[in-house]
Structure 1
């Protein structure tokens, strides 16, 4: 059965497109605002990630990832996550995706004496858009996710999962090829900025959730393998509204692209 015509029309996406300037202004001012606040806790982390893309045909793709996030100085686990999204290609360089993530959340303080790991379920839906220009590619990602945390009582897991809040995310990205070989991009410089906002009755003082700025170099080893190393600054507001985390993060990623499409033999 074909997707609904309203998804194929692309009209609603053009409307989103026209609001990008306003979104960029929000990105800038939200970052300036949080940087002016006090009570900032500085932390260092290192992230390892494996990203798999399984293409079924011209329209459908399954994307999965595993990330391990560790504190350094001192060393401690922060998060382990698994995420899967089913993506469908729309018209006009737009994709729609739906899926979810499973998080295992350790304490936010690496010096904590607690070893409690709290599971989180996070279903999501979103849209991607890419614009390839002569010397770079501009990407936009709009994403909404619901957060369900496992109940905790007296530092122990109890009961089941409870809805917490919705979170809205927007990411702007620039991919700039710096090395080409045989007309193929081999080394790509990446610059991304993502802002997130919390929505829900439980959100009182931290409607602004966080902002992430990311710089990286991506090396295309082959058509199916790429590796990436980068730096991220993760600035996050806590529930109090006046306390923030400012995290410096080194990221190492492996990208693995597979396809089930049949090759045409001439």
Structure 2
């Protein structure tokens, strides 16, 4: 078992164009803490469509850059990954509580490497993810909510290249969020990332401090005003 400490920083911007349609864009910087070194960097964009009855359909694409999994690695090869995905979200509001379900299927294209260098072409496999989350509204500060958030997310690999690690990883998270305003939310928490390595009998256990900014821009009211 390899134990590692990391810090994740993210910014997400969601623009709502109508009661049905929205676009979310994200940037993530993930770094080892000891020593300080980049582990992963990613950009993600997702189109969201509200289906009704608390269901939402999502289609998106991620550009991913994977640095070595060892922060002390001498070789610094960065491997690009292209990752389209489809997703369904379901929310169950229960008073101060909300239970959330996220179902995601993604196709992962990894740039091929040879002797520590990038070469032409991509390898690929599928991955399926399910996340069960819970939110609890603890209090209000200046009429804005403070929430306790927790989730557990399971990742399963599939494809011809997957031999020993059908189970890819599990992530357990707990954190606090505060809506500074109706459009801006700050969140901090702890994430445990338990991952099986491709050989099957080796694992990573990563302890991660997570810091996120979520920004929402609602254009639906502006559209109504312009139509009026």
Task: Quote how far apart the aligned CAs of 1:158 are.
Answer: 1.5
- Say whether the 8 Å CA contact 2:144–2:182 is kept in structure 1: no
Partner of 1:231: 190
Aligned mates of 1:198, 1:209 — CA distance in 2? 6
Q: CA deviation at 1:181?
A: 4.7
Q: Among 8, 29, 42, which residue is 1:68 paired with?
A: 29
In structure 2, list runs of 5 or more residues that go unmatched. Answer: none
Q: Does residue 133 of structure 2 align to residue 170 of structure 1?
A: no
Q: Residue 53 of structure 1 aligns with which residue?
A: 14
Q: Equivalents in 2 of 1:238, 1:165: separation in Å?
A: 15
What is the aligned counterpart of 2:199 among 237, 240, 249? 240
- State how 1:255-266 maps to structure 2 within 5 Å: 255-263=214-222
The number of residues matched between the two structures is 225
Kindly indicate whether the alpha-carbon contact (under 8 Å) linking 1:177 and 1:185 is maintained by their aligned counterparts in 2.
no
TM-score by length of 2: 0.95
2-structure distance, mates of 1:153, 1:200: 21
Q: Which runs of 5+ in 1 are unaligned?
A: 1-39
1:105, CA displacement in angstroms?
Answer: 0.4
1:9-158 alignment runs, 5 A limit: 40-158=1-119
Two-structure CA RMSD over aligned residues (Å): 1.4
Structure 2 partner of 1:209: 168
**TM-score, with structure 1 as normaliser:** 0.82
CA displacement at 1:131 relative to structure 2: 0.8
Q: Given that residues 90 and 96 in structure 1 are in contact (C-alpha distance below 8 angstroms), is that contact kept between their aligned partners in structure 2? A: yes
Shift of 1:92: 1.2
Cα distance in 2, alignment partners of residues 100 and 220 from structure 1: 27
**If each structure's strand is expressed as a fraction of its own residues, which one has the higher value?**
2
